[in-house]
Amino acid sequence: MALSVVTVPWAVPRWEPGSADRLRVAALELFAEHGYDAVTVNAITDRAGLGRRTFFRHFKDKREVLFAGSERLPVALEERVAAADAAVPAPEAVLAALAEVGEELLRVTTHQAVRAAVIAGSEELRERERTKAAEITDALARALGGRGVPPADARLLAGVSAAVFDSALQRAVSGGTGFTAALREAAAVLAGFSRGR
């Protein structure tokens, strides 16, 4: 599977130009061909035509090829919810933050479908995804608490919002739609369940 190279803002190469992107593309190709567990760092560097030292300058391990920069996602969501006008109801502030960050995420990353398939095939990677979802929930709960939402309510809204965000991302990647449309669809499904449909 041939994958194109794209520069991702949170992985700007500091050494050999384009090396992080070359490593990322090589890793995704190999993960898709052989499965995550069967691929070694040596195989990735061989495919990219780079050395192990270059790999470890950009990524601490092969898992980070898939998750580099993900630590910024909860921060971005928390900042946007906190920055929303105080007059905006909390659920609307959260949905607006999810839409903005989700659109930005899909704009600056590529190969999300390949990444999702690789993660689905590995328990280790699925556990890392669950950790990321928990971090998003924590960040949203903090932001909502800062807006005066009671702790139990903030935690509930944050957890539901993190699940809606994940569902919207999956819908956008698999359906080829924009993130905001996918977010509306996911929110509508949730609203339908709450009405007993």
pTM of the entire predicted model: 0.81
CA dihedral 188, 190, 191, 195 (to 10 degrees): 130
Is there a contact between 55 and 23 (Cβ–Cβ < 8 Å)? yes
Span(s) in the chain for CATH 1.10.357.10: 70-194
For the domain spanning 70-194, the CATH number is 1.10.357.10
Q: Percentage of the chain surpassing pLDDT 90?
A: 70
CATH topology of domain 9-66: Arc Repressor Mutant, subunit A (1.10.10)
Span(s) in the chain for CATH 1.10.10.60: 9-66
* Among 2, 23, 21, 3, CA closest to 11: 21
Mean of the per-residue pLDDT values of the chain: 88
pLDDT digit string, tens, across residues 105-121:
888 777 888 888 999 99
Q: Tell me the pLDDT band of 10, cut-offs 50, 70 and 90.
A: very low
